Each structure stands twice: as C-alpha cells, then as structure tokens.
Amino acid sequence: MKRIIALTAALLMAAGAAHANDPKVAIAALDARLAKIGPAKVEGTVETGGKTVGALFFGPRRINNNYDVVDEIKKTTGASATVFVKDGDDYIRVSTNVLTPEGKRGVGTALARAKAYEAMNKGEKFCGEVDVLGTKFDACYHPIKDAGGKTVGLTYVGFKK
C-alpha cells in the first residue's frame, strides 16, 4: 500500500512539473479568470501610464490600472501577465506585473511590433520566445474579442528564460 501511495504521489508531482512554466497553461488560467468576470468591451477612455487609451472592461470591472488578476496569475503560476487594449495600430499595456528597468509596472507601453504583434493583427494566438521590455520570455499571447468578434485587446503570459 505504501508503495502505491508513493507511486501515486510521484506521478502527481511529475504531472504538476510538466505544467510548470508552461505559458499555454498560464494563459488559459488568465483567460478563464477574465472570462469569469464577464464579456470584454471597450467603453470610454482612461489615463493609463500617462496615456489616454480605451477603457477595457470585463463585465462591470475596468481592467486599466487594476492589477488583481495579473498579480493572481503571478502568484498561482509564477508567470508574468499583462492585459493590453487595442489603441489604433498599437496594443497598450493597461494591467501588468511586468516591471520596467526602473522597477515600475510597464503600463502605458506598447507591444513590440514583432511576431506576436503580427499574429494579434490577424486575430490569431501566438506562443514562442519573445523580448518583453528587454528580457527574454517563453510566452503566449491571445486576442481579446468583444461580443461582435472584434479584437479589442490581448492577453499575455510569459516565463523568463
């Protein structure tokens, strides 16, 4: 019996380790957490990181300058997490636990125009290695769509390489 318990424990730990640092698992957790709050929409504008951008809501909760969801993802998965709002041709960080070199949250900064940017403009998901504010990450990005299917932002999670 002890042997079966030990084997079961070892298998459970191995399964957990397989998901450790997996951006696909972490972004699924972020997207599920946001969807639980309510549908996405952009309504009005708000100052975020010194820029006036669209106010991104999930249900009744405005996400701009609100860090509880991204901080929860960091706490539960260890991943850095960000929510962006579409602003013209850019995607602007409105909620993030990613820090700038000065140690401040990187809100108000734009998504780099690279592979993830190209995928978001096509409404597609992207997973791969990226540079986030000067640091390499294994990351995933997913488009955020409103009730009409229009891309209004994106979610991101990543693990430092």
String of DSSP letters for 64-77? TT--HHHHHHHHHH
Domain that holds residue 132: 21-160
Residue 119 lies in a domain: yes
Q: What is the pTM of this model?
A: 0.86
For residue 147, tell me if it sits in a domain. Answer: yes
Domain of 105, CATH number, reads 3.30.450.20
pLDDT in tens, the chain (161 residues): 444 333 333 333 333 434 568 999 999 999 999 999 999 999 999 999 999 999 999 999 999 999 999 999 999 999 999 999 999 999 999 999 988 888 899 999 999 899 999 999 999 999 999 987 678 889 999 999 999 999 999 999 999 98
Could you tell me if residue 46 is inside a domain?
Answer: yes
Evaluate whether residue 3 is within a structural domain. no
Q: For residue 150, how many other CB atoms are within 10 A of its CB?
A: 14
User: Domain total for the chain?
Assistant: 1
* pLDDT the model gives residue 79: 95
Does any domain span residue 16? no
With respect to residue 108, please indicate whether it lies within any of the assigned structural domains: yes
Q: Is residue 2 assigned to a domain?
A: no
- Residue 66: inside a domain, yes or no? yes
